[in-house]
Amino acid sequence: MSSDSVSRPGADIAPPFLRDLWYMAAPGAALGRGQLRRYVLLGEPVLLGRMRDGLPFALRDICPHRGVPLSAGQVTSEHTVECPYHGWRFKADGVCSAIPSLVEGQDMDPARIRVRAYPVREQDGLLWVFMASEGRETEQPDLDPPKVPLPAGALPRLVERQTFRCFIDHAVIGLMDPAHGPFVHQAWWWRTRKTIHAKAKNYAPSPRGFTMVSHKPSSNSFAYRILGGDVSTEIRFELPSVRFEHIRAGRNDVVGLTTCTPIDAENTEVTQIFYWTAPWLALIRPFFRPFAREFLRQDRAMVELQREGLKYNPRLMLIHDADVPAMWYHRLKKAWTDRGAAFVNPVPETTLRWRS
């Protein structure tokens, strides 16, 4: 088989999102004590908040009384969220703890009223929300959020977020596309069309995804050369929509984490987070930030240009070997959706070759 074809759901069909997985909702630093923020994740309104003691939580952002967004309310000193309409209060687990309008003798137990609570985990300076499938909303996750491959306590050094006007699949496939770089990311500090050459990379399956095993990156990339030393990089993709690039240069480690979080069927939040162990890299952060922003903007501009063709719901072609990671992504999605009692990773150990 020399190519695969994939179809895009019509505009009148709501495409399914992967469930029973962790999605990166926001950097932890974006949420101070006592703050509430409204997000839309996978088409669902989600209140992400932090109690005054620092505990993060996530609730469905709709009060069950009159439908007012709870994110318009406030965090109380009793570690509850107070609805702005009638003052109903909800604990971090979604249980209603108070209804101010009740008077003595009225037979109603507020604790029987609940708002959906989403499992939330703060890890590596990021807030992850577990989006369960229908019927499993009250179950505890049986897996952990994706872990940054650095010692515990690693914190983001640089964060860039942009909203891509596309369905999540197109954003994710852009993450793993090895052939678009010389055309989309033309810049003196990255690469140009003049640097296109043949490549061969080894791949192996990894938990809920695949890894481009450790290798020397392209020597023409200034972004890598600035680290100095003997540089190697390993790139890992993990469901639902996470890409890690772990760069090692002597004793220095840099990890670039890119996450794609679907807002709805037409919009995806793409976040690039960088971690590093070398203190001196903090000195170049002000200069590196514009490059990170521009790099992400170039990807965003391309998927938004792609929308012009996708309006006509064409069948899309994936070719060997450059598009094999995209094929794997679709197969991983299917294997996860159809997993039954156990997930079987469909990715083989192999070598892929392409020019870029």
* 269-294 pLDDT tens trace: 999 999 998 888 888 888 888 989 99
Are the C-beta atoms of 203 and 352 separated by less than 8 Å? Answer: yes
Residue 215 has pLDDT above 70, yes or no: yes
pLDDT, position 11: 43
Alpha carbon 213 to its chain's center: 22
The CATH class, in words, for 21-131 is: mainly beta
Between CA 50 and CA 58 the distance in angstroms is 9
Length of the chain in residues, anyone? 356
In this predicted structure, the answer to whether residue 189 has a pLDDT above a threshold of 60 is: no
Nearest to 124 by CA among 91, 92, 157: 157
Q: Are 81 and 52 in contact (CB under 8 A)?
A: no
Among 144, 139, 138, residue whose Cα is nearest residue 123: 144
3-class secondary structure, 110? helix
Determine how many CB atoms are found less than 10 A away from the CB of residue 346. Answer: 15
Farthest CA pair distance, the chain: 81
For residues 292 and 272, the answer to whether their CB atoms sit within 8 Å is yes
Instruction: Please report where in the chains the tokens 């006592």 appear, as a residue.
Output: 34
Which pLDDT score is estimated for 109? 94
Spatial distance between the Cα atoms of 292 and 295, rounded to a whole number of angstroms? 5
Choose among 292, 272, 288, 290: nearest CA to 280: 288
**Does the pLDDT of residue 87 top 70, yes or no?**
yes
pLDDT per residue over 52-82, tens digit each? 999 999 999 999 999 999 999 999 999 999 9
The matching CATH number, chosen from 3.90.380.10, 3.30.70.100, 3.40.50.620, 3.40.50.720, for 158-355 is 3.90.380.10
244, containing H or E segment: strand 242-249
Does pLDDT of 333 surpass 60? yes
Residue 10 clears pLDDT 60, i.e. is over it: no
Kindly report, as residue ranges, where domains of CATH 2.102.10.10 are found in the chain: 21-131
Which pLDDT belongs to residue 175? 84
Query: Which residues does residue 264 pair with via DSSP β-bridges, in sequence order?
Result: 267
What is the tens place of the pLDDT at every residue in 222-234? 556 666 668 899 9
Determine whether 19 is exposed, middle or buried from the number of CB atoms within 10 Å of its CB (0-12, 13-18, 19+): middle
Lowest mean pLDDT among 87-96, 158-167, 209-218, 302-311: 209-218
List of residues 6+ apart from 229 with CB closer than 8 A: 249, 250, 252
- Please say whether the beta carbons of 125 and 28 come within 8 A: yes
Nearest Cα neighbor of 148 from 57, 276, 241, 28 is 276
Is-cis flag, bond preceding 299, omega within 30? no
Q: Give dist(CA 331, CA 34) in Å, integer.
A: 42
Report the pLDDT averaged over residues 88-100: 98
Q: What are phi and psi of 83, to 5 degrees?
A: -65, 135
Instruction: Please state the rounded mean pLDDT for residues 298-322.
Output: 95
Answer for the pair 280, 129: CB distance below 8 angstroms, yes or no: no
13 — pLDDT class (breaks 50, 70, 90): very low
Residues forming CATH 3.90.380.10 domain(s) in the chain: 158-355
Q: Do residues 212 and 178 lie in contact, with contact meaning Cβ atoms separated by under 8 Å?
A: no
Q: Peptide bond preceding 15: is omega within 30 degrees of 0, i.e. cis?
A: no
Predicted pLDDT of residue 195:
67
Average pLDDT over the chain, rounded to an integer:
91
Q: Which of 83-92, 105-114, 224-233, 270-279 has the highest mean pLDDT?
A: 83-92
Query: Residue type for 250, please?
Result: G
Question: What's the distance, Cα to Cα, between the start and end of the chain in Å?
Answer: 22
- Tell me the percentage of the chain whose pLDDT exceeds 90: 76
Q: Name the DSSP class of 95.
A: B
